[in-house]
Structure 1
Amino acid sequence: MAGDELFSYRELLGAGLSREAVRSRALAGRLPRLTRGVYGNGPGAEFLPALFRRLPPEAAVGFQTGAQLHGFGALPSADVHVIVPAGAVVPQIRGVVAHEAILAVRDVALVAGVPCASAARCAVDVARTVRRMDALALLDLCLRVGACLPDDLRAEASRHARLRGVRQARELVDLADPRAECRQESQLRLVLIDAGLPTPEPQLWVPDTWGVPLYRLDLGYRGRRVGIEYDGASHLDRDQLRHDRFRMNWLAAHGWQMRYFTDRDLYRRPEHIASTIAALLHP
């Protein structure tokens, strides 16, 4: 046995190892047991490829786990999420969530050595099954990292017609924006949209007198000179504090009305955010 290969228990016995030899090598870490009945040979052996030794042939990684493999894991999950054909016999495996697919999985590709649903499929599946605020953050990140294009998301959402939560997914796909740079910024944008306010521009650049971009705001309404920022900093050093004060004073001197919100505002009183910005836009 050489390399980072995977072997079933039966394969090891068939290769001439005794049960005691398998057990002792597993305990010593020379032949780690990755999941029930599957062992790895080498330090690079991993759980996910081993898991697929126990799943139906048509299974594929999807949902939050698929999103993470594609590079937009905004909603990390302690469980491994896999998509299996409807009616497939799947063993109960601790830490593995099997989603029976009513809609066939297309465009399966190997990602990190395992079959994985397309980025658009993973994004839409998550967007229709989690909270709106979390779903938009994931869709924004999906576009930001270039995992797929907006048209890919729209096409995939159309394929999910009549599935649970697809209406939410379709609405949020149309709102997704690759310019968003963090989850809270995406959620803050959605609070304003859901309150019936105009969609703010993410990562809005404010130019100086000569038109050179000078300061970038999390969100803003350029025409009304209203800026919105999420303040997630727990500590500011003296130099950063000086910079921020200068920035705030410059923006105010140039007619910008800035408002800053924290996690308490976002998660406990979103109506305060909406009413504050509405008062600036409609004085």
Structure 2
Amino acid sequence: MEDRAALRTMLADHDGVFTAAQAYGCGVSDDQLRRRVVVGDWIRLARGVFRVADRPLDTRMRMRIAVLCAGPNAALAGAAAAWWHGLVNSAPTRPTVIARRGRHGSPVSGATVWHRTLDPLDVTSKNGLAVTAIPLTVLDASVDIGVRVMDSALLRNHVRLDQLIEAQKRNVGRRGSPRSRAMVAAMTSGARSEAERKAVALLRNSDVEGWVVNVPVGKYVLDFAIPEHKIAIEIDGFAFHSDAEAFQHDRERQNDLIANGWTVLRFTWHDLTGRPQWVLAQIRAAIRQATAA
């Protein structure tokens, strides 16, 4: 017999998207299920997958639909999983789902489906939906969105470095694996030094002249400088590698340099990897300003 209270709870807990098995679990019979579809209360989306008709499609519904329509053992992944876990504030317009290798079925409308077999350690359930576990989610979302996802997750203690390393080892060869491996390596070896190496490579391949590395100025040693124009270029690592004491020291150092006539430019890993031409444009602008003064 249909348990209406259980059915209402199930529908509410699953954003109005459900499987036939979940309906059966609330006492709904085959005949009752078919009747609700015929009268328009429920909409059949795929074999064994339904949604309520009286709720406008929203982001949570679309993500649930994508996972359920991808078949058994599918899981939400990438930027969509990061949003589902609360690691990022914005949801992607097109969710990504990982379906089991060898899946046979229709394409999932409105979603990107990757086919591979996930280790059980890399899958979890959140709010009744199969989602990649946080370590793998962070790795994949960092490829989709940028390294700031990894940085933020580490800084907020959503994940540990050792968990990222283990998830990377379990998922070698997946889409984006080389990029996420490089991000983890940078986190492990020291973000500031890795960022400085990228800055050197960027400057060497540019038209910026007169720059030098590790320049002593008073009681400080600048990461980079263009002494002729008194331009200091400081490289920040990931926020994950920062602390309150280091932050305060960097600000005091910057204020002292400015008081002594230096122009201080600060760039981050995100700047160097995500918008290197903008970095060069800022340096060129500082040179022009110094030359015109």
> Normalising by structure 1, what TM-score?
0.58
2:105 matches 1:98 = no
2:157 matches 1:142 = no
Q: Could you give the per-residue CA deviations for residues 66-88 of structure 1, whole angstroms, max 9, x where no partner exists?
A: 11112223774111211111111
Structure 1, gaps ≥5 residues long? 26-30, 181-187, 208-212, 228-247
Cα separation, 1, equivalents of 2:101 and 2:73: 11
The residue that corresponds to 2:31 in the other structure is 14
Q: Could you give the per-residue CA deviations for residues 57-108 of structure 1, whole angstroms, max 9, x where no partner exists?
A: 2111111111111222377411121111111124322212111015545342
The residue that corresponds to 1:243 in the other structure is none
The residue that corresponds to 2:171 in the other structure is 160
Computed over aligned residues only, the root mean square deviation of the Cα atoms, in angstroms, reads 4.7
How far residue 148 of structure 1 moved from its aligned partner, in angstroms, is 0.9
Q: Could you give the per-residue CA deviations for residues 112-153 of structure 1, whole angstroms, max 9, x where no partner exists?
A: 2201111111222344x54xxx43122112223322111111
Which 10-residue stretch deviates more, 105-114 or 4-13?
Answer: 4-13
Cα separation, 1, equivalents of 2:236 and 2:276: 21
2:130 matches 1:124 = no
Please list, as runs of the form range in 1=range in 2, the aligned pairs for 1:20-59 lying within 5 A after superposition: 22-23=39-40, 25=41, 31=42, 33=43, 35-36=45-46, 38-40=50-52, 47=61, 48-59=63-74
Structure 2 SS opposite 1:195: helix
After superposing on structure 2, the runs of 4+ consecutive aligned residues of structure 1 that deviate more than 6 Å are 9-12, 41-45, 188-191, 203-207, 213-216, 263-266
More helix by share: 2
The residue that corresponds to 1:269 in the other structure is 277
2:276 matches 1:253 = no
The residue that corresponds to 1:230 in the other structure is none
**Structure 2 contact 70–97 (Cα < 8 Å) conserved:** no
Q: 1:35 to 1:162 in 2, by over 3 A?
A: closer
Q: Could you give the per-residue CA deviations for residues 153-191 of structure 1, whole angstroms, max 9, x where no partner exists?
A: 1122222334444232111113349xx9xxxxxxx9996
Structure 2, gaps ≥5 residues long? 12-17, 204-212, 214-222, 224-234, 288-293
How far residue 256 of structure 1 moved from its aligned partner, in angstroms, is 6.9
Quick one: percent identity of the two aligned structures?
15
Q: Could you give the per-residue CA deviations for residues 188-247 of structure 1, whole angstroms, max 9, x where no partner exists?
A: 99964763886524567898xxxxx86976xxxx8xx4x5xxxxxxxxxxxxxxxxxxxx
Structure 1 SS opposite 2:39: helix
